Amino acid sequence: MSDSDSTSRIVPEEDRQGPPPPWRVEGLPDEPPQLAPRPSGVGLLPREPRFWIILLGLLLLNWFIYSWFAGGQGTARARVSYSQFRTEVDAGNVEEVTSVGSAIEGSFLTPVKLGIDAGVTVVLFRTERPSLGDDKVIDVLLAKGVTVNAQSLTRPVPFWQNLLFGFGPTVLLVGLFVVMFRRGGAGALTGMGRSRAKRVDNEPKRATFADVAGIDEAEDELIEIVDFLRNPERYQRLGATIPRGVLLSGPPGTGKTLLARAVAGEAGVPFFSLSASEFVEMIVGVGASRVRDLFEQAKKAAPAIMFIDELDAIGRARSSGAGLGGHDEREQTLNQILTEMDGFAGAAGVIVLAATNRPEILDPALLRPGRFDRHVVVNPPDIVGRRAILAVHSRQVPLDEDVDLAAVAASTPGMVGADLRNLVNEAALLAARRHRGSVCQADFTDAFDKVMLGTARAITVSPAERERTAVHESGHAVTGILMNPADPVRKVSIIPRGASLGVTLQAPAADRYDYDEAYLRGRIVMTLGGRAAEELVYGNVTTGAESDLEKVTQIARQMVGRWGMSAVIGPVAVLPRPGDGPLLPGVDATSPRTQELVDDEVRRILDECYVTALGLLADHRDRLEALARLLLERETLDEPDIYAAVGFARPGSSTAS
């Protein structure tokens, strides 16, 4: 595809002439009404009848409970015996009484003590008149001047108190629900099935293809989608249809999410973005409901782009075993996505972009034509791509004249876009910490050491341990230089960094995409060189080679079990890829005999490489000791000093041990 053709296909929206594209979404009218912008929340209260029925029930329940416990009781009165009541009447200590039937209520002139507890005194009382005969109590009361009422002394609770205490809690509860409804869109209860996708329409700083660099092949695949969204009649005239979905796969940090945002920014259409894990909830059916709601939103906004990140969270291949009720929540969500992407309803005008790091575990139904029609692999950038990515990320960074981005790109093989962005940011942070007005090459060098080797630690190391570390790292460097083919040794340091006391850095001179058996054996020999140097010089070994042993064991096992580099095992893959689980895809299990053979072959390869490392260092012990002495003196050596110390010419770039 030529640059002129690509430019002609991407025309700004304001420069195009003619009517808007004839978008039509299946299941919706041909001329959909103008929809108001979707609000972030909902109305003050929901309009569902069920809500109002629940609210009315809460009010009645609240009123009943209040009336049962508090209604009609008025002021609390102490119950006294009738004999004590007569005693107080005879003593002239009763101020006022009222009687309803046999019940008598009243008040004392002075407080009266109850029982033997002198701390309990009462003024208001209540008693019951026994039906044992007529004791003429009314005559005694009148004689003593007691006021006798014809109505109860208990005053009813005022209406405003009934209203406040009866309906107040319910009103507060309803207010809480209103806040939840307004802040949670549809509320925490009724909105559980609503999609949580973030919609982006016309932000001033939307990503475009100008922000994408180093992954030109993937970018070219997506330019066609942008052009279709802007000029659909060009393709519809020839009977072509846009892919329903595009799957972006590749290692983490290669720019899959950035590509999706750039497509939406270039096309100028609404962009719905969310992670696949946001679909799945503990309650079965919520994920499928959210999928339906998300596609419904996207259809109303068509043409639109929907981006689902980390698709493998819900897109894993379905198993034959049934979960609770026949399907678990993840499978129900996956089934709903399959239906929405290519079902009876369809989703014309909605393009689904998805990103994953593990496309091999996705369900085959997702990958078939009609769903994710196009698969775009986003690979780590080469040296030219890394140079372009560094230029993009350093646009807002003032660079010194001595900065050579091409040299930085050459020294960072294997780094992806996220790594390079972090490298530029670390260099800028170092320059700011050093009070510089611009970022220079030394800042990039120090930032590279920090990212690749770790942050230097200010710890005190004894002279004996420091010397042993120098011998260990010199063993790595010398065996790395002597092995052929091997990557050049770029840096050796005995400054403690990260979890190690020293570090040796190897980096290839050019990007490598394939490795032969000789190269892998050279890597093992170089990695075992530190342990071999300790044994050669001191006659014993330490725990400093722990990470080295882990690395060489992993390399040897993959040589034997995955890459067929063992004559005993042969060209048979018997081990899964790292992170894929204990079993090889398509194979139930390897036999115990095969596993023993793998272990024996791994041991044989490591033993042979260790003997090679010991032999090389024994033959070149003077070079080993010379490099160790210089390392003790200067602590950190770069490539020219390393090769000069061992007496070898430098070869024509990243692995740290």
Q: What is the mean pLDDT of the chain?
A: 78
615, 598 Cβ separation under 8 angstroms: no
Residue whose C-alpha is closest to residue 272's, from 349, 182, 210? 349
Question: pLDDT value at position 122?
Answer: 81
Domain annotation for the chain: domains and CATH numbers: 78-149 (3.30.720.210), 194-319+326-377 (3.40.50.300), 383-453 (1.10.8.60), 463-656 (1.20.58.760)
Structure confidence at residue 300 (pLDDT): 83
**Residue 520 Cα distances to 174, 256, 293, 517, 570, angstroms:** 69, 31, 52, 5, 17
Taking 90 as the threshold, does the pLDDT of residue 4 lie above it? no
The Cα 291–Cα 281 span in angstroms is: 12
What's the mean pLDDT in 574-596? 71
Per DSSP, what are the bridge partners of residue 122? 112
The answer to whether 430 touches 446, Cβ cutoff 8 Å, is: yes
- Higher pLDDT among residues 178 and 31, named by residue: 178
* CA-to-CA dists, residue 146 to 43, 85, 207, angstroms: 63, 13, 92
pLDDT per position as a tens digit, 495-546: 888 778 888 888 887 778 888 999 999 999 999 999 999 999 999 999 889 9
Window from 86-100, 186-200, 351-365, 639-653 with minimum mean pLDDT: 186-200
- Which helix (H) or strand (E) covers residue 504, if one does? strand 503-506
Helices 592-619 + 463-482 axis angle, to 10: 100
* pLDDT above 90 as % of the chain: 23
With cut-offs at 50, 70 and 90, classify the pLDDT of residue 204.
Answer: low
CB 412 within 8 A of CB 420: yes
> What pLDDT score was predicted for residue 319?
66
Query: For residues 45 and 460, which has the higher predicted lDDT (pLDDT)?
Result: 460
Check whether 468 has a pLDDT greater than 60. yes
Give the C-alpha separation, 461 to 167, whole Å.
73
Model pTM?
0.66
Per-residue pLDDT band at 224 (split at 50, 70, 90): confident
Rounded-to-integer distance, Cα 178 and Cα 205, Å: 35
pLDDT at 19 over 80: no
Q: What is the pLDDT of residues 130-152, one digit of tens each?
A: 876 666 777 778 887 787 776 65
Instruction: Band the pLDDT of 17: cuts 50, 70, 90.
Output: very low
Q: Is the pLDDT of residue 272 over 60?
A: yes
Q: What integer pLDDT is reported at residue 552 of this predicted model?
A: 95
Separation of alpha carbons 125 and 110, rounded Å:
12
Q: Identify the pLDDT of residue 216.
A: 83
Cross-strand partners of 362: 316
Residue 127's pLDDT is 85
Sole residue written with tokens 């942008």: 226
Q: Across residues 558-574, what is the average pLDDT?
A: 90
- Which tokens belong to 371? 């769903």
Q: What is the pLDDT of residues 273-326, one digit of tens each?
A: 888 777 776 555 677 778 888 888 888 887 888 888 888 888 888 765 544 443
| Model pLDDT, residue 551 | 94
Beta carbons within 8 Å of 493's beta carbon, 6+ residues apart: 453, 473, 502, 503, 504, 635, 636, 637
- What pLDDT score was predicted for residue 624? 94
Give the pairing type, strands 103-113 and 121-128: antiparallel
Do residues 497 and 457 lie in contact, with contact meaning Cβ atoms separated by under 8 Å?
Answer: yes
Q: What percent of the chain has pLDDT over 70?
A: 74
pLDDT given at position 118:
53
DSSP of 126-158, one letter per residue? EEE--SS----HHHHHHHTT-EEESS-SPPPPP
Distance CA 98, CA 340 (A): 78
- What amino acid positions are annotated as catalytic residues? 473
23-32, 391-400, 435-444, 476-485: the lowest-pLDDT one: 23-32
pLDDT digits (tens, 9 = 90+) for 77-130: 788 888 888 888 888 888 888 877 778 888 888 888 876 555 677 888 888 888
- Residue 91 has what pLDDT? 84
Q: pLDDT band for position 3 (50/70/90)?
A: very low
Q: Does 200 score more than 70 pLDDT?
A: no
Nearest to 277 by CA among 311, 250, 249, 307: 311
pLDDT at 227 over 50: yes
Q: Which of 27-31, 69-73, 190-194, 540-544 has the lowest mean pLDDT?
A: 27-31
What's the mean pLDDT in 201-223? 77
Task: Kindly compute the dihedral angle of the four CA atoms of residues 109, 115, 121, 124, in this order, to the nearest 10 degrees.
Answer: -50
The answer to whether residue 14 scores a pLDDT higher than 50 is: no
- With residue 68 as reference, give the H or E element that holds it: helix 49-69
pLDDT digit string (tens) for 601-654? Answer: 999 999 999 999 999 999 999 999 999 999 999 988 988 889 999 888 776 544
Q: Who wins on pLDDT, 655 or 421?
A: 421
Q: Say which amino acid occupies 69.
A: F
Q: How many Cβ atoms are within 10 Å of 123's Cβ, its own excluded?
A: 14
pLDDT digits (tens, 9 = 90+) for 418-450: 999 999 999 999 999 999 999 999 999 889 988
Decide if pLDDT at 397 tops 80.
Answer: yes
**pLDDT above 70: residue 188:** no
DSSP structure string for 277-298 = GGT--SSTTHHHHHHHHHHHHH
